[in-house]
């Protein structure tokens, strides 16, 4: 694709005009991990109606267009916690996506709820490495599809992550998982050698580089494959931007040394991926396009607005109900917000149980939005803790705890309360781990506040599954945090926490 052609396509996204229809090209518009962000995020970026404007602009100019969603359309705002997928899945229909695959969060409410929504889905639902036989999802998914554009056959396969260790076991019971790398390679080979396909696109929800998690990601699959020609990814929330210096590599060498494009748009719908495939040469160009207010003046979808109106009314009522004041802005990730969440979990659970805990360990990935400075609404707290989790206290040995800390180190650290301070090396070995200033002793027993999701081995915390359960709450964690926050407000206190990093990378 020439630079002139690229800029003509991108220009259509910003102006209204007549365009020449371009044959011998396939343009793929991609999105992933939108996580229930129907409307723009707190920073004003994103929004599904803006994405639809972008999609429709390209459709006016291009003969061959595909729209693909690479999973995790749900979980992250009140639209999901209040309406359980009614809004997100219908929006995939109304945005006219051609293909959709499952993310891990699609399973959050179990397969029965998932099947109810997916039976109404208009996009082709792909999964090459899940066998749904005998489950509620049987018959909904296809292992691959083949589409013909200007006489060229393009095959699409769907690759999903291993649910073990990341999805609650009860929520995928009966699904048989097939190896990621082997299935992707064999399905692509089938399409090329037996189905006469010219170009294979892998749509995946396994993550870009999952080395630290000990599971294969997109770059691992590409390195072991000969027949995959393009990857459209999700799960790791990686912003792959060829135009930005320091971005993750978007061209990865396959088994034969051929460079394969690997793409992903981050999360929350703040970017759309535009992939232009030349159907003569089968070369692909990729750009990441910001979704912002430039498209607002062209939003004109009265039927969609009417569909969203009653849902928005409920969401807005909760987002406008103030329950506390935050002393400062606290972003997601390690730092003040993770510290506050962990310290609060410790205080809440110790008070509920009457058991003195040594520390708390939470997962930073379970904190779904930032804490703003100033007014904090009921809706924001529910959005921050959208999962149906419960607080627990578990007892485990120092040896089990140290193994758990290595798992946490492999993903760049996780949320801990103030008692637990850890340093680790680049190979994920623990250099120092202290509770209340004392080294963790392998044979000593420790009482840890955590979530039932982690206690059940979620986020690959397998050592936690070996622990003894001392206390299990029966109330959703968001309810507990809401009560805790209201107590702070009644005492005239603000939400606040230190910025210290409690798990840090150090020199070996």
- Residues present in the chain in total: 508
pLDDT at 109 over 50: yes
How much is the average pLDDT of 254-268?
97
Lowest mean pLDDT among 201-215, 222-236, 340-354: 201-215
pLDDT at 209 over 90: yes
> What pLDDT, on a 0 to 100 scale, did the predictor assign at position 236?
95
Question: Residue 14: which pLDDT band, with cuts at 50, 70 and 90?
Answer: low
> What pLDDT, on a 0 to 100 scale, did the predictor assign at position 17?
44
**Cα gap 159→223, rounded to integer Å:** 15
pLDDT at 4 over 60: no
Residue ranges and CATH numbers for the domains of the chain are: 3-15+26-312 (3.60.21.10), 321-505 (3.90.780.10)
Query: What is the Cα Rg of the chain in Å?
Result: 23
Strands of the sheet with 230-232, listed across from one edge: 144-149, 152-160, 199-205, 230-232, 259-263, 251-253
**What is the Cβ-side half-sphere exposure of residue 210, based on CA atoms within 13 angstroms?**
22
Per-residue pLDDT of 421-442, as tens digits, reads 999 998 889 999 999 999 999 9
**Contact (Cβ atoms closer than 8 angstroms) between residue 106 and residue 161:** no
pLDDT at 358 over 50: yes
Residue 204: name the closest of 54, 365, 30 by CA.
30
> What pLDDT, on a 0 to 100 scale, did the predictor assign at position 249?
86
Return the number of other C-beta atoms located less than 10 Å from residue 483's C-beta: 12
Residue 111: name the closest of 83, 91, 140 by CA.
140
pTM for the whole thing? Answer: 0.87
> What pLDDT, on a 0 to 100 scale, did the predictor assign at position 159?
98
Residue 273 token pair: 């991926």
DSSP per-residue string spanning 38-66: -S--TTS---HHHHHHHHHHHHHHBSSEE
């Amino acid at each position: 694709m020439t630079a002139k052609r690229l800029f003509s396509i991108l220009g259509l996204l910003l102006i209204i005009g007549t365009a020449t229809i371009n044959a011998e090209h396939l343009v793929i518009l991609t999105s992933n991990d939108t996580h229930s962000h129907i409307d723009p995020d707190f920073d004003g970026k994103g929004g599904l109606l803006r994405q639809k404007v972008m999609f429709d602009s390209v459709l006016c100019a291009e003969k061959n267009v595909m729209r693909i969603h690479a999973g995790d359309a749900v979980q992250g705002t009140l639209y999901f916690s209040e309406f359980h997928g009614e809004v997100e899945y219908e929006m995939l229909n109304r945005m006219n996506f051609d293909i959709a695959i499952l993310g891990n969060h699609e399973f959050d409410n179990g397969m029965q709820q998932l099947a109810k929504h997916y039976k109404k889905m208009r996009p082709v639902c792909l999964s090459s490495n899940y066998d749904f036989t005998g489950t509620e999802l049987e018959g909904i998914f296809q292992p691959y599809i083949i589409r013909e554009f200007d006489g060229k056959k393009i095959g699409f396969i769907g690759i999903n992550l291993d649910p073990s260790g990341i999805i609650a076991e009860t929520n995928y019971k009966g699904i048989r998982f097939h190896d990621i790398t082997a299935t992707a390679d064999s399905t692509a080979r089938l399409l090329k050698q037996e189905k006469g396909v010219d170009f294979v696109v892998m749509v995946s929800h396994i993550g870009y580089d999952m080395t630290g998690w000990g599971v294969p990601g997109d770059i691992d699959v590409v390195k072991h494959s000969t027949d995959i020609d393009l990857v459209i990814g999700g799960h790791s929330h990686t912003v792959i931007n060829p135009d930005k210096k320091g971005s993750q590599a978007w061209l990865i060498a396959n088994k034969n040394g051929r460079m394969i494009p690997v793409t992903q748009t981050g999360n929350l719908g703040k970017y759309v991926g535009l992939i232009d495939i030349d159907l003569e040469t089968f070369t692909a160009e990729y750009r990441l396009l910001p979704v912002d207010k430039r498209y607002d003046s062209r939003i004109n979808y009265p039927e969609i607005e009417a569909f969203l109106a009653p849902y928005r009314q409920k969401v807005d009522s909760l987002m406008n109900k103030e329950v506390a004041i935050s002393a400062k802005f606290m972003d997601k990730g390690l730092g003040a917000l993770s510290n506050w969440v962990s310290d609060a979990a410790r205080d809440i659970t110790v008070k509920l149980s009457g058991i003195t805990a040594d520390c708390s360990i939470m997962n930073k990935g379970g904190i779904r939005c930032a804490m703003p400075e100033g007014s904090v609404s009921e809706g924001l707290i529910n959005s921050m803790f959208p999962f149906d989790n419960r607080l627990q206290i578990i007892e485990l040995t120092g040896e089990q705890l140290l193994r758990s800390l290595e798992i946490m180190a492999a993903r760049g650290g996780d949320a801990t309360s103030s008692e637990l301070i850890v340093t680790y090396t680049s190979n994920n070995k623990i250099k120092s781990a202290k509770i209340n200033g004392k080294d963790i002793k392998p044979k000593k027993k420790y009482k840890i506040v955590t979530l039932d999701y982690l206690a059940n081995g979620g986020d690959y915390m397998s050592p936690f599954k070996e622990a003894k359960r001392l206390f299990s709450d029966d109330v959703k964690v968001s309810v507990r945090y809401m009560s805790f926050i209201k107590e702070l407000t009644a005492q005239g206190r603000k939400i606040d926490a230190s910025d210290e990093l409690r798990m840090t990378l150090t020199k070996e």
